């Protein structure tokens, strides 16, 4: 039974390709705005060639076998590309499912004198194409998930900018929830910036952090510890009354950690720590200009 399918694929490649493209055109699944006809034809021709090779030996429905390596590799590339181009999972899978119509017709014609084989052959090709269609959906979904994770990571990096406020003073404003993944990114960004600027004091501002629980406090302590290991002092600013009460209620030990209610307070502390001052504009100079 497996050789009949292979023989048909090998005997009618051009006819199957033409009928396949026509089936996709009439079904309305083509997206000419996203893919040109020449590119689609090339993909269909490559799939037919690889499928013909794969069905030559062994169980035609065993798509996990080494014989189907080329087919899987091609569908992997196709599904990833279509996912990035904007095709939906169903549109990507229909690339395979739409091949059923032309190959079914060919099987019926070739086996017209052997009706007892038609059902078995149709079942084999149905199982085969269904497996390959589902495989494209799985790859498409994985690609989307990878894109989402990458975008989340990029947004995370953008949401944790380390700003140099003054000579040897940097500030890391935090906004939103501080979880384990973000803590790692925060520490890496802060430590890298300390190395680049030679900072001696790092201000971590949590004004934009809505709530502080035990886990969040532990993440802050880890960041403070890592900063100290780099030879820099760490100040936590943005300690609001409700956050202070929460920290006390949770029994979180922030002993030895400098805390301030605002960035301005932390900045003033940092200047004094470094024996630096910010001079006010001279009133005499202002009067002379007047």
Q: What is the pLDDT of residues 214-226, one digit of tens each?
A: 888 888 888 899 9
> In the prediction, which pLDDT does 77 show?
94
CA distance 88 to 90: 5
Confidence of residue 179 (pLDDT cuts 50, 70, 90): confident
The residue-averaged pLDDT of 169-185 equals 81
Query: Judging by DSSP bridges, how do beta strands 233-237 and 258-260 pair with one another?
Result: parallel
With b for 16 or more beta-carbon neighbours within 10 A and e for fewer, the 61-84 pattern comes to bebeeebbebbbebbbebbbbbbe
Strand order in the sheet with 163-166: 163-166, 169-175, 201-208, 233-237, 258-260
**∠137-143-144 over CA atoms, to 5°?**
90
Q: Answer yes or no: CATH 3.30.750.24 is held by domain 163-273.
A: yes
Confidence of residue 134 (pLDDT cuts 50, 70, 90): very high
Between the alpha carbon of residue 153 and those of residues 140, 149, 158, 159, the distances in Å are 20, 6, 9, 10
pLDDT per position as a tens digit, 78-133: 999 998 888 889 889 999 999 999 999 999 998 888 888 888 899 999 999 999 99
Do 2-153 and 163-273 share a fold?
no
> Cβ–Cβ contacts within 10 Å for residue 244, how many?
14
Confidence of residue 1 (pLDDT cuts 50, 70, 90): very low
CA distance 210 to 166: 27
Strand, helix or coil for residue 84? helix
On average, the pLDDT of the chain sits at: 86
The helix (H) or strand (E) run that includes residue 57 is: none
Cα–Cα nearest to 111, from 102, 122, 101, 125 = 122
Whether pLDDT at 51 is above 70:
yes
The domain spans of the chain are: 2-153, 163-273
The residue-averaged pLDDT of 264-287 equals 79
Question: What is the pTM (predicted TM-score) of this model?
Answer: 0.59
> In the prediction, which pLDDT does 254 show?
77
Cα–Cα nearest to 254, from 289, 207, 218 = 218
The proportion of the chain whose per-residue pLDDT surpasses 70, expressed as a percent, equals 89
CA distance 133 to 95: 8
Whether pLDDT at 59 is above 70:
yes
Between the alpha carbon of residue 33 and those of residues 30, 86, 87, 154, the distances in Å are 9, 10, 11, 29
Between the alpha carbon of residue 216 and those of residues 33, 137, 178, 202, 220, the distances in Å are 48, 38, 6, 18, 6
Q: Answer yes or no: CATH 1.10.8 is held by domain 2-153.
A: no
């Amino acid at each position: 039974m497996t050789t009949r399918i292979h023989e048909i694929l090998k005997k009618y490649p051009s006819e199957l390709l033409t009928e396949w493209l026509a089936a996709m055109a009439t079904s309305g699944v083509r997206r000419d705005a996203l893919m040109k006809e020449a590119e689609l034809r090339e993909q269909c021709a490559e799939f037919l060639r690889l499928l013909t090779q794969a069905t030559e030996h062994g169980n035609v429905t065993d798509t996990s076998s080494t014989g189907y390596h080329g087919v899987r590799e091609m569908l992997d590339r196709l599904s990833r590309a279509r996912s990035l181009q904007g095709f939906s999972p169903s549109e990507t899978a229909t690339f395979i499912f739409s091949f059923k119509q032309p190959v079914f017709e060919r099987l019926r014609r070739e086996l017209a004198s052997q009706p007892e084989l038609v059902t078995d052959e149709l079942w084999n090709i149905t199982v085969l194409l269904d497996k390959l269609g589902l495989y494209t959906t799985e790859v498409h979904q994985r690609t989307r998930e990878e894109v989402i994770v990458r975008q989340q990571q990029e947004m995370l990096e953008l949401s944790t900018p380390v700003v140099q406020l003054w000579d040897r003073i940097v500030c890391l404003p935090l906004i939103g929830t501080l979880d384990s993944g973000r803590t790692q990114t925060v520490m890496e960004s802060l430590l890298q910036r300390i190395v680049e600027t030679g900072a001696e004091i790092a201000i971590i501002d949590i004004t934009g952090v809505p709530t502080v629980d035990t886990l969040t406090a532990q993440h802050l302590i880890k960041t403070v510890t890592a900063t100290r290991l780099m030879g820099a002092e760490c100040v936590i600013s943005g300690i609001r009354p409700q956050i202070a009460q929460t920290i006390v209620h949770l029994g979180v030990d922030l002993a030895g950690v400098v805390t301030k209610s605002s960035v301005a307070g932390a900045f003033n502390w940092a200047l004094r720590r470094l024996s630096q001052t910010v001079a006010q504009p001279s009133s005499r100079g202002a009067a002379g200009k007047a």
